[in-house]
Amino acid sequence: MNQQVGLGIAPVVGALGAELSGVDLSAPLGVETVKAIRRALLEYGVIFFRDQPLTPAQLLGFGRCFGGVIEYPFVKGIEGYPEVIPVVKLEHERVNFGGVWHSDTTYLECPPMGSLLIAREVPAAGGDTLFANMSMAYEALSTGLRRLLDGLRAVNSSAKADSTRTREDRVRDGARSDARNEYVAEHPVVRTHPETGRKALYVNVAHTVRFAEMSEEESAPLLNFLFHHQVRPEFICRFRWRPGSIAFWDNRCVQHNPINDYHGMRRVMHRITLAGERPV
């Protein structure tokens, strides 16, 4: 399972993540190579590539091998490529974009299936990204709690304070004129992966506000437990970036958190997101 023809797969840690080698993502990919990359994504949750200095057009071409590309609702894309958003922290800024544990845009009715992030400029040290396996987090819960959570739904909002704070700098520089003040969506607390059939926790501290038909105060004790539980060290891998590095993660079963430990240094990334389905 860890080797495909022409494709090397090296797991990062036990929980999730693998580094893939032996493929040039700037060139057209054959059907079998695309299938092998998708299998690796489904098995490891997040996959990494090194030394792939793709242009925006090449990044979009690679992403479209796996699904349609959608635009981010709050920030405009780079010039000429509305689907490619800048994920930037400049030398004078103190808050990093998306710097909180989350699965991307779970406040949308159909959140993205996956995201691809490519490093353009990275600090000399710092700026790593953490990833966490939500299927493993769900399976580590007691039978009784899993039974309870299986029947619950949760309300997700784009206006939760910790999340809005992390996008303020980019919204100031490049806000979309058509963005709503708030996006809200209700999703299962436990979603079933449409390709693997595996269950995963689908709440996150950045966007999940409360359980459906409950108040925020009533929801807080259990949600806070889940927010802490789902990022236990044994569920996590850590990725150190270099220019030309790419991470491709499955938003349906993986959360991520970029570490904000490089004040005074610049970090420039480009991200695209792939269209997903309504969680069930």
Residues carrying an active site annotation: 102, 104, 256, 271
Residue whose token pair is 């850590």 = 238
- Cα distance between residue 149 and residue 265, in whole Å: 42
On whether the CB atoms of residues 239 and 129 are closer than 8 A, the answer is yes
Phi-psi region of 133 (alpha: psi -120 to 50; beta: other; left: phi over 0): beta
Residue 249 to residue 43: CA distance in whole angstroms: 11
- Asked whether 186 and 212 are in contact (CB, 8 A), the reply is yes
Query: Which two three-digit tokens encode residue 234?
Result: 């044994």
Are the CB atoms for 275 and 148 separated by under 8 Å? no
Taking CA atoms, 280 is separated from 85, 135, 156, 164, in Å, by 28, 14, 15, 26
| H/E stretch holding 39 | helix 31-44
The number of C-alpha atoms within 13 Å of 178 and in the hemisphere containing its C-beta is 4
Return the amino acid letter for 2. N
